[in-house]
Structure 1
Amino acid sequence: MRRRGGDRDGDSGDSGDSGDSGRAEGRAGAARQQRGRRSWFPCLGTLLGTLLLGMLLIYISVPFLIRLFPSMLTKFVYLNFLAFPFFADFRRPELLVNNTISLHLTTEPGVTVGIWHTVPGSRAAEARGQDRRWYEEALADAHPVIIYLHGNGGTRAARHRVQFLKTMGAADFHILALDYRGYGDSTGHPTESGFTTDVLALYDWAKARSGNSSILFWGHSLGTGIATNAARKLQEERGVQVDAVVLESPYTNIREAAAHIPITKIYRQFPGFGYLILDSLARADMFFQSDENVKVLACPLLILHAEDDGVVPPHLGRKLYETARSAYKDKNKVKFITFPEKLGLGHDYISFNPELPALVKDFLNMK
């Protein structure tokens, strides 16, 4: 009995040792896990510190790199590498908008630009199945012709630009929408002077075919500076006035625009922001001085701006209007139209306003 009891006591003692051992191993395992977790924290902190330091170095170095290599700014200003909508078939504009044909125009040796020509909606039935020659002859039908100059990103196939073709085409305007050199299916590389060359070549092409029809330059965003550049050069070098200029969501000049657009907000308080970044625009041969151009122009000038424009502040559009109105002898030739915030038109969607054609026609009838 004692042996059994002793056995039981011995068994009980072994079991206690086993339990203590298990608890000890558990505590040791927990300690190892805790030490493992603690060992991760310094590594994680080091990694975050390295990332933050790297971001800080990039933030600080970018303005100095721009000053040293101002051509870098052309990538930020022109954005022609953002060729949205991607995979657009420029040869078949009818997939996006009716009464439209694609054509190409050589603007100087080695540079060919892609263009869409939309004919007035009143000629939609005639336009079906017609070739380029018919479209060219249609330019002389007395309907006004808009040469449409888009903004800095994307191509003529972008949604809001297609909407412009639909809206103004339905209002019986011809529209010639081009992609500048380096954009869309156009060849060459973007430059401010090159854009002017492209526009004037298209103007000459249209003028040779449009008879007595009015021709307008319509610029949107970056295209407003291109429109005033082309109109000024046409007037100063040839003594010819374009029939009207319409500026949608304009700025005064590229330097002032860059000081206000959202992308530069993180650098506005950076020491030397003006010298390192804004002044480098001129070193990269980018000026787009609409405020100086409108002092020279004499053609009818219409400025359109939405109050909720989050890209180019409406006060720049108003400032451009005031500059033009001060310079124009005939004040009636300059008009500024704002669109209230409640319409939600922002920077890109003025062409979605159904009242736009009537506003433009009223202005053109006043000239």
Structure 2
Amino acid sequence: MKRHDASQKKVSGQAPEGRGRQSGSFTPHSLIYKKKKRPSSRLALYLKTSALALLCIYISVPFIIRLFPALLAKVVYLNILKVPFSVDLSNPKVILNHTTNFYLTTEDGITVGVWHTLPASRWEEAKYKDQVWYEEALSDVNPVIIYLHGNGGTRAVDHRVQLVKVLSAAGFHVLSLDYRGYADSTGEPTEEGITMDSVYLYEWVKARSRGTPVCIWGHSLGTGVATNAARKLQEKGSAVDVVILESPYTNIREAGAYHPFGRIYHSFPGFEYFFLDTFALNNIVFPNDENVKLLNAPILILHAEDDAVVPSFMAKKLHDIALKSQNSRGVKLVLFRADLDYEHENIYKDPKLPEIIWDFLNDI
């Protein structure tokens, strides 16, 4: 019996049972440890994968742009962004008083949309008036400004509308143009094409203004359009009365190099080849620096010192070039202090802006 009992104890002895308990007591800790470790491993894998994907994109973009240069043109001409989406461009009075919408068909058959905002002093007269009346109003004593906007959005973008309100209150007619391919205008934008649209509108206005000064005002990309148009008109024997450049660049190549997107790739090997040289493949130049050398129209340059899109040194450069030109009849640079926070689009907020414009017009 003892042997039998011993045999039973050996089979069901305490030592194996104890080892089993020790193993059992270790396993939960092991599982807990693994469970704690697993999320951090997944996070690390996710971060590595994301970093690798971003690196691949970063490296691929220059090659894609060089292989398909038309993509860079889409970035320069952001006409696909027809913002704000909620505005009915055919009914501008919803956001701009005493304003009418009309369309012009250029010499090459392109239809462009235009808003004509009257000087605020004439708002009562404008009630219930038609397009013919607005055209005749261009011949009053109030100067006219043709506003050429930047590369994205439409004539209804808020900072553009706010500037038009300021200019209207200051006593100007303002005609806001959407280039071909933008907003409700037909066609596709090219440098030559949008320059042609601006020249056509200037000549249309000049034929109706009967001697009233007509100014071309360009903002950002529109400064290149403005000087292109002024140069073209001058070559045709019709020098522009005044050119106003808001946040201008020297040329599109240098603007691209200092643009926030360009700065991301500034240290990329072959940056000039992949990006800057590609502008030329699309016939995108906008040579403000070359144009101001030749213009004999008065030029007013406005720029904010805290502009992060187009650095203010470009405005200073253009000013110096224009001053050295023997053709210029008057050049002035106005820099707005960085602490005013006007940046690239908000010079309209300066309370002295109307005074600056009128002083310049009265001095020429």
TM-score computed with the length of structure 2 as normaliser: 0.90
AA of the residue aligned to 1:217: I
Q: What is the CA distance between 1:72 and its match in structure 2?
A: 1.1
Verify: 1:88 aligned to 2:87, yes or no. Answer: yes
AA of the residue aligned to 2:330: K
Q: How big is each residue's C-alpha offset from its partner over 1:36-81, in whole Å with a ceiling of 9 and x where there is no partner?
A: 4445555544443232222111111211221222111112212222
Specify the SS of the correspondent of 1:259.
helix
Specify the SS of the correspondent of 1:125.
coil
Match of 1:220 in 2: 219
Q: C-alpha distance in 2, partners of 1:305/1:345?
A: 9
Q: C-alpha distance in 1, partners of 2:327/2:132?
A: 41
Q: Relative to 1, partners in 2 of residues 1:307 and 1:113: Cα closer, same or farther, differing over 3 Å?
A: same
AA of the residue aligned to 2:93: E
1:319 equivalent among 311, 317, 320: 317
Match of 1:271 in 2: 269
Match of 2:244 in 1: 246
Conserved? CA contact 1:151–1:222, under 8 Å: yes
Verify: 1:259 aligned to 2:257, yes or no. Answer: yes
Q: Relative to 1, partners in 2 of residues 1:39 and 1:307: Cα closer, same or farther, differing over 3 Å?
A: closer
Q: C-alpha distance in 1, partners of 2:22/2:82?
A: 66
AA of the residue aligned to 2:33: Q
Q: Relative to 1, partners in 2 of residues 1:110 and 1:22: Cα closer, same or farther, differing over 3 Å?
A: farther
Conserved? CA contact 1:154–1:184, under 8 Å: yes
Q: What is the CA distance between 1:133 and its match in structure 2?
A: 1.0
Match of 2:64 in 1: 65
Conserved? CA contact 2:295–2:327, under 8 Å: no
Q: C-alpha distance in 1, partners of 2:71/2:176?
A: 28
Q: C-alpha distance in 2, partners of 1:24/1:328?
A: 95
Conserved? CA contact 2:246–2:301, under 8 Å: yes
Q: What is the CA distance between 1:293 and its match in structure 2?
A: 0.6
Match of 1:103 in 2: 102
Match of 2:113 in 1: 114
Verify: 1:53 aligned to 2:87, yes or no. Answer: no
Conserved? CA contact 1:110–1:188, under 8 Å: no
Q: How big is each residue's C-alpha offset from its partner over 1:176-209, in whole Å with a ceiling of 9 and x where there is no partner?
A: 0011111111121111111011111111221222
Verify: 1:333 aligned to 2:299, yes or no. Answer: no
Conserved? CA contact 1:252–1:320, under 8 Å: yes
Verify: 1:358 aligned to 2:355, yes or no. Answer: yes
Specify the SS of the correspondent of 1:303.
strand
Conserved? CA contact 2:151–2:222, under 8 Å: yes
Conserved? CA contact 2:218–2:226, under 8 Å: yes
- Aligned-residue CA RMSD in angstroms? 2.1
Deviation larger for 34-43 or 250-259: 34-43
Q: What is the CA distance between 1:223 and its match in structure 2?
A: 0.3
Specify the SS of the correspondent of 2:233.
helix
AA of the residue aligned to 1:55: L
Q: Relative to 1, partners in 2 of residues 1:19 and 1:174: Cα closer, same or farther, differing over 3 Å?
A: farther
Consecutive unaligned residues of structure 2, counting only runs of 5 or more, are 1-16
Q: C-alpha distance in 1, partners of 2:311/2:277?
A: 20
Specify the SS of the correspondent of 2:208.
coil
Q: What is the CA distance between 1:333 and its match in structure 2?
A: 0.7
Specify the SS of the correspondent of 1:336.
strand
Conserved? CA contact 2:245–2:301, under 8 Å: yes
Q: Relative to 1, partners in 2 of residues 1:139 and 1:26: Cα closer, same or farther, differing over 3 Å?
A: farther
Verify: 1:28 aligned to 2:27, yes or no. Answer: yes
Q: Relative to 1, partners in 2 of residues 1:164 and 1:39: Cα closer, same or farther, differing over 3 Å?
A: closer
Q: Relative to 1, partners in 2 of residues 1:328 and 1:160: Cα closer, same or farther, differing over 3 Å?
A: farther
Match of 1:148 in 2: 147
Q: C-alpha distance in 2, partners of 1:213/1:150?
A: 23
Match of 1:280 in 2: 278
Conserved? CA contact 1:146–1:173, under 8 Å: yes
1:344 equivalent among 341, 352, 364: 341
AA of the residue aligned to 2:182: Y
TM-score computed with the length of structure 1 as normaliser: 0.90
AA of the residue aligned to 1:265: R
Q: Relative to 1, partners in 2 of residues 1:119 and 1:56: Cα closer, same or farther, differing over 3 Å?
A: same
Percent of paired sites with the same residue: 52
AA of the residue aligned to 1:258: G
Q: What is the CA distance between 1:175 and its match in structure 2?
A: 0.4
Specify the SS of the correspondent of 1:58.
helix
Q: C-alpha distance in 2, partners of 1:23/1:120?
A: 92
